Amino acid sequence: MADSSAQPIAKYRSDYQAPDYTIENVSLEFDLDATATKVVAVSTVVRQAKEISDLVLDGEKLELLSISVNQQAHQAYKLSDGQLIISDLPERFELKIETQLNPKENKAFEGLYQSGEAFCTQCEAEGFRRITYFLDRPDVLATYTTKIIADKAQYPFLLSNGNKVDQGDLANGKHWVSWQDPFPKPSYLFALVAGDFDLLEDSFVTQSGRTIALELFVDKGNLDRTEHAMASLKEAMRWDEQRFGLEYDLDIYMIVAVDFFNMGAMENKGLNVFNSKYVLANKQSATDNDFLGIEAVIGHEYFHNWTGNRITCRDWFQLSLKEGLTVFRDQEFSSDLGSRAVNRIKNVRLLRSHQFAEDAGPMAHPIRPDKVIEMNNFYTLTVYEKGAEVIRMLHTLLGEQGFQAGMKTYVDRHDGQAVTCDDFVNAMQDASGKDLSLFKRWYSQSGTPVLKVQTHYDQNKQQFSLTIAQHTPATAEQEDKQALHIPVSIELLASDGSSLALQVNEESVSSVLELTETEQTWLFEGIGEQPTLVMLQEFSAPVKLEMDYSSEQLLLIINNASNTFARWDGMQKLVSIWMKQAVAQVQAGNNLQLEEAIVNTFKLLSEDSAIDKGLLAELLTISSENEIADGFADVDIDAIAQARDFFIRSLALALPEQFVALEQACAKADKQSLAHEDINLRSLRAACLQYVAYSQPELVAAAYFDSPTMTNKLAAMSAANNADIEQRAAMFRDYEQNWQHDGLVMDKWFALEASYAKEGSLARVQALAEHPSFSMENPNRVRSLVGSFANNNARHFHAKDGSGYRYLGEILRVLNTQNPQVASRLITPLIQTVKLDAERKALIVEQLQVLAELEDLSKDLFEKVTNGLQQLQA
């Protein structure tokens, strides 16, 4: 076992203390070299503490060259465990620190590193300490001036935050550029990029008449894949002005796309560094989902300019302050530009299939954690997606007008500050006058609440009684739970599908009920017949529901609910009832049968020409194995896979004419544009191909070979993959031959190969790790192959012989030292397995114990391995 004295130490939110010193401004000079970059940092430092104290700066993987205070060499310092501790300091002084670093060997991609031949940085959360010794914490806000020196021929573009203020040439073939950012920011928002790129230029005129220069930098040869990203940026700037009244503040906005990046993108002030996945797209190389993803991520990073940059986090426990709010904003952006119903459904799918599992797993935490060992481990779906749901609940409770008033108060009150989640909720409360003190529990309580619903109808009094009880199960780090403030949006349907008016004490009431106690009852009057209750319209809260529905009630909801999300959710419940029964039948060794009522429901939907095509695509898409597993207390991987396969195959063979006719109609009507009407048509066609593959596989092959667009090709490949049709091999071979030169496009191929559920799956994945397009050093490649196998190929990853677990364990041991951030994200499907059988749990424990024994186990993995073992061995 690794030396326990060397184990990482947890930090607690309750221990927060303001820094003894702050930094008002910093001047940085970089002399770039692949193996020996020199950095000179000159900072104005001011003591904030009343008593004289040491200045403690963070540093990692640095060679310290010199220190001076007020232009005099300073010797009163020591280096200790990743910190530079400086003594004998005046109250206000100039601190100059010279360091040297090796970007080429930085495979963790934190701080300054090389992506291909270019230099770039990633400083969130704690990467700036790999550039220079600094107060690397978000509550130290300084203005930055950055001078970059590099070889002019090799690095013609030298970029940093803010506005360009000067540039020049040097005699030795080098050149320099200076940048100045006038807005105080924490060190995590610092950015530098140097390289030779193709450049797309444009401009945007703000609502106040200012012209902003827009520049998008990509690797040479990729300029034809940048137009959509630029258009998305301009849409985001326009939308933020119109919806939130927020205008961009610098003279220039730059985006740089790089291939080697741990995250999706980074909102550094004025210079966003992006994973190329979320910039590069044209119809030949990208799918509609890629285009929509680019739109959302471009928007997300731009929206951070105000919700994250101008107003930032006091400490990293407050991460959801910026991320939850900004995810909500990018979701609204996508919904306003596209299909609100489809966007909402996709967001809820992600929440149910992955975030709910996080809530039930060993890393369960509130959206504002109380304890952290490695901050990178809290860039989670809980902080981001559940955090966005908490913001959405505020919007539901306050309405658009009240929410916007709260946003204005928040911005006016805290611009230029590092603040807390409480500060945000207080602004909402003060602007609206609504008491949100109970609502704040969402920030401190982990787990997924469960709502238990009971109803009673009194025909004589024409009254309908609704009782809702809330309960949040204990989580790994938090036993006791309190009642939450939960908005519950409902509808009552009559037997003819019409919506019944909601009245209490002869007055109309809102459809949004506010559950604030452990149990509450509402009594609705004037209800002339037994109604069907529609719960959680628009998924008004991130909760689970315990409520018995009959098939007849669900069919009424699917066909008549006024809220499109509720219609889709009714279908999920209908399928879920069958799945639970089918899994029991599989376990008992009985044959399965698909009820005629379900077949008829799908038949009627497929023949309904009036239904929204995007919604129909979602209705026809059967929940993933992960989503289905969430509904079980004990998960039987193989039985779930068998039941789901049977459902899709049986439906396909029961309605071949309907699915073929619908697929062909979509293909004919599609104008191949990025208009949302056409995107919905292609989405519906893709859903139909999943069924067509079982009856007419030649049509799936035709959809691949006859289409010039990546969307249709990938839809056909996915259908061929899942149905395992004969034509699959030719399709995948053709794709590989055409795109093996482009790693980003090959990621889709790797992902499909890794999720291919045919026997020998693991051996194929292991062989593909030797493919010339694959690289263990590239996070995108690793996620596409290894991540897809572990997350999307449950029956082979969870193989009873433990081979899937051993394989992931081997990969994690490599990444532990090479790129701990990626390793930490990949381990998730290995530790969120508390519902599995005892035999599989024992096999997982073996792999976690091997990791725990590593002498050099990273902080990133230590936290998850330790928590995983604790829960599995409890």
For 137-154, the pLDDT digits (tens) are 999 999 999 999 999 999
User: Residue type at 102?
Assistant: N
Torsion angle of C-alpha atoms 778, 784, 789, 790, degrees rounded to 10: 70
CB atoms within 10 A of CB 796: 25
Dist CA 81 CA 56 (whole Å): 11
- Token reading at 573: 């419940």
Q: Which residues contact 810 (CB under 8 A, 6 or more apart)?
A: none
b/e 621-651 (16+ beta carbons within 10 angstroms → b): bbbbbbbbbbbeeebbbebbbbbbbbbbbbb
Q: Measuring CA to CA, how many Å separate 9 from each of 198, 372, 375, 873? A: 45, 9, 12, 22
pLDDT of the residue at 6 = 64
Q: List 27's β-bridge partners, or say none.
A: 42, 145
Q: What's the confidence (pLDDT) of residue 4?
A: 45
3-state secondary structure of 459: coil
Q: Which residues, 6+ apart, have CB-to-CB distance to 72 below 8 Å? A: none
Tokens representing 243?
């919806």
**pTM for this entry:** 0.97
Report, as ranges of residue numbers, the positions in the chain whose pLDDT lies below 70: 1-6
Sequence-ordered list of residues with C-beta below 8 angstroms from that of 127, at least 6 positions apart, any chain: 110, 111, 121, 188
Question: Which of 196, 226, 253 is the endpoint of a domain?
Answer: 196
In a domain, 372, yes or no: no
Residue 503 lies inside a defined structural domain of this protein: no
CB of 822 within 8 A of CB of 781?
no
Mapping DSSP onto H, E and C, the string for 90-105 reads CCEEEEEEEEEECHHH
Q: Are 228 and 674 in contact (CB under 8 A)?
A: yes
The structural domain count of the chain equals 2
Q: Which of 196, 211, 237 is the last residue of a domain?
A: 196
Give yes or no for a cis peptide into 125 (omega within 30° of 0): yes
**Tokens 């609704």 found at:** 466
| Three-class SS state of 254 | strand
30 in a structural domain: yes
Residues 6+ apart with CB under 8 A from 593: none
CATH of the domain at 830: 1.25.50.10
Angle between helices 838-852 and 803-818 (to 10 degrees): 20
Query: Tokens 């809702």 appear where?
Result: 468
Starting at the earlier edge strand, list the strands of the sheet with 111-115: 111-115, 118-122, 192-195, 157-160
CA distance 136 to 127: 8
Look at residue 1 in the predicted model and tell me its pLDDT: 36
- How many Å apart are CA 155 and CA 174, to the nearest integer? 9
User: Is 477 domain-assigned?
Assistant: no
Give yes or no: 63 in active site: no
Interstrand relation of 174-185 and 163-169 (parallel, antiparallel or unpaired): antiparallel
Cα–Cα distance between 400 and 407 in angstroms, integer?
Answer: 10
The runs of H, that is alpha helices, within 378-420 are 381, 387-414
Residue 252: inside a domain: no
Where does a domain end: 196, 228, 249?
196
Q: Let me know if residue 61 belongs to a domain.
A: yes
- The span from the CA of 269 to the CA of 253, in Å, is 9
d(CA 712, CA 266): 31
Residue 558 lies in a domain: no
Q: What share of the chain is helix, strand, coil (3-state, %, to 5)?
A: 45, 20, 35
Q: Examine residue 347 and state whether it is found in any structural domain, yes or no.
A: no
Candidates 215, 267, 301, 374; catalytic one: 301
Cα–Cα distances in angstroms (integers) from residue 809 to residues 520, 573, 590, in the given order: 48, 36, 36
Helices 761-768 and 743-755 pack at an angle, to 10 degrees, of 160
Query: CA 411 to CA 307: how far, in whole Å?
Result: 9
CA 49 to chain CA centroid, Å, is 39
DSSP string, 590-658: PPP---HHHHHHHHHHHT-TTS-HHHHHHHHSPPPHHHHHTT-SS--HHHHHHHHHHHHHHHHHHSHHH
Tokens of 506: 């002869």
How far, CA to CA in Å, does 535 sit from each of 124, 349, 516, 557?
A: 40, 17, 17, 10
Give, as one character, the DSSP assignment of residue 72: E
Q: Which domain holds residue 190?
A: 17-196
Q: What is the CATH number of the domain that holds 24?
A: 2.60.40.1730
Instruction: Fill in the amino acid letter for 726.
Output: E
